[in-house]
Structure 1
Amino acid sequence: MNRTYWASLAAVVAALVFATVATVASATGGDSEPAAHTPVAASADAGFARDMAVHHQQAVEMSFIVRDRTKDEEVRRLAYDIANTQANQRGMLLGWLDLWGLPKSEPDRLPMAWMGMGSEPGGDGALMPGMATNTELAELGKADGKQAEVLYLRLMTEHHKGGIHMAQGCAQRCTTGVERSLAQGMVDSQQSEIDLMAQMLKART
């Protein structure tokens, strides 16, 4: 692995650590405004935090893969932005679960059950809507240049669509104000990136 990869990874890890620490203050409202309640494991607040953390982790993984498979600066810049943003947000989500004293995973609870969906995960590693399969991740890891760029943009577009659906669910169901705000921010930013990726795909196909 080259220096660029490790420098990028270090930046994302730093953002993740910072977000995890900072989110404790935001979720409790700071020193003067304690949280009104603590979410329970079956709540939308906890379910969204668990599921979106998993969803985000794959986006970070795909973004680092494509950065090593193309020299196109536009795609590499987008991939870094997505990796950095979603690692930061993932740190916040996991930080809230720690703050609430809740587990970061619950194997017996179906993904997205908090949204009233609760369907069994798809095959080949696709745990939630929009997530890439193991086969698709392997294809991305083997692709080069334009082929890798197109595959990444297509996979990430679908990934964002699934993420938006989930974030909209939290914006409607979550009771923690700061988490609802984060979810709505995800909807807005990821829709903007979908629009950008559509333009980038058009230029490459």
Structure 2
Amino acid sequence: MTADQPVTEDPSAPRRRRTLWWPAALAAAVALCLGVPALVASGSSASGSAAAAPATDSPEAGFARDMATHHQQAIDLSFIVRDRTDNAEVRNLAFDVINTQANQRGMMMGWLDQWGLTQNSPAKPMAWMKMDYQAHDGSLMPGMATNTQLDQLRKLSGAQAEVFYLQLMIEHHKGGAGMAQGYVDEAQNATEKRLAQSMVTAQTSEIQLMTDMLAERGAKPLS
């Protein structure tokens, strides 16, 4: 199975994991619907879209760029584990992450385009939060896995892959929820703030779920 093949939900998955998919998907869908009028409004402002758009060094632009990058690694991790285990519960968790975070990433990239801003910036990641994170081995922001950890996950299979994926995703969600809360505290764009708050809520809930899944496998989070 390859990364470009569609992911399908296993109907035999435990009810706990299957029911969690709906709040996450619903939050993403609601956020998408909320984002449409905001984009239209910014493009039709009487003073012009350029005047209404956030500046390239604003928290709005910084959060959109950094969270899009953060989300992309979560998607990558989930595609890796999807091909390394047959466990229905873990594969359905990966399905949720891929679909929800790809949806949200597309929204943030769309906002940057609507604002007339580039998707990348020479500024250091997290600069908009006034955070000086020391990037290392591909880990650009808090919670992101290193290249070494990604390579290790690719070499594992079965229960070992499940445990390591859950451990990495807990750290990833901790970093992501922290970043989203940082934006909520600074937000000037109401629509983007609502999306960030939905991330805090959903990822905090999934951290507990994944901690429980680790316990069922006789393992604990990395920190």
The partner residue of 2:67 within 48, 52, 59 is 52
The partner residue of 2:137 within 105, 108, 124 is 124
Q: Match for 2:132: what amino acid?
A: G
Q: Does the 8 A contact of 2:133 with 2:142 survive in 1?
A: no
Partner residue in 2 for 1:40: 55
The partner residue of 2:39 within 28, 39, 50 is 28
Return structure 1 stretches of 4+ with deviation > 4 angstroms.
Answer: 21-24, 33-36
Q: Match for 2:108: what amino acid?
A: L
After the TM superposition, which residues 13-162 of structure 1 pair with which residues of structure 2 at under 5 Å, given as runs?
25-28=36-39, 34=45, 37-106=52-121, 108-121=122-135, 123-162=136-175
CA distance in 1, matches of 2:35, 2:209: 33
Q: Does the 8 A contact of 1:66 with 1:140 survive in 2?
A: yes
Number of matched pairs:
194
Task: Kindly state the Cα deviation for residue 158 of structure 1 after the two structures are TM-superposed.
Answer: 0.1
CA distance in 1, matches of 2:38, 2:63: 15
Partner residue in 1 for 2:11: none
Q: Does the 8 A contact of 2:39 with 2:111 survive in 1?
A: no
Q: Does the 8 A contact of 1:24 with 1:95 survive in 2?
A: no
Instruction: Give identity over the alignment, percent.
Output: 53
Task: Kindly state the Cα deviation for residue 70 of structure 1 after the two structures are TM-superposed.
Answer: 0.3
The reply on whether 1:176 has 2:189 as its aligned counterpart is yes
Q: Does the 8 A contact of 2:166 with 2:214 survive in 1?
A: yes
Normalised by the length of structure 1, the TM-score is 0.87
Q: Match for 2:158: what amino acid?
A: G
CA distance in 2, matches of 1:67, 1:44: 34
Cα RMSD after superposing both structures: 2.7
Partner residue in 2 for 1:12: none
Q: Match for 1:128: what amino acid?
A: M
Cα deviation, 1:173-196, whole Å, max 9, x if unaligned, reads 121100000000000000000010
Q: Does the 8 A contact of 1:132 with 1:155 survive in 2?
A: yes
Cα deviation, 1:16-60, whole Å, max 9, x if unaligned, reads xx99x96762333569x8589310000000000000000000000
Cα deviation, 1:150-178, whole Å, max 9, x if unaligned, reads 00000000000000110001111121100
Which runs of 5 or more structure 1 residues have no equivalent in the other structure? 10-14
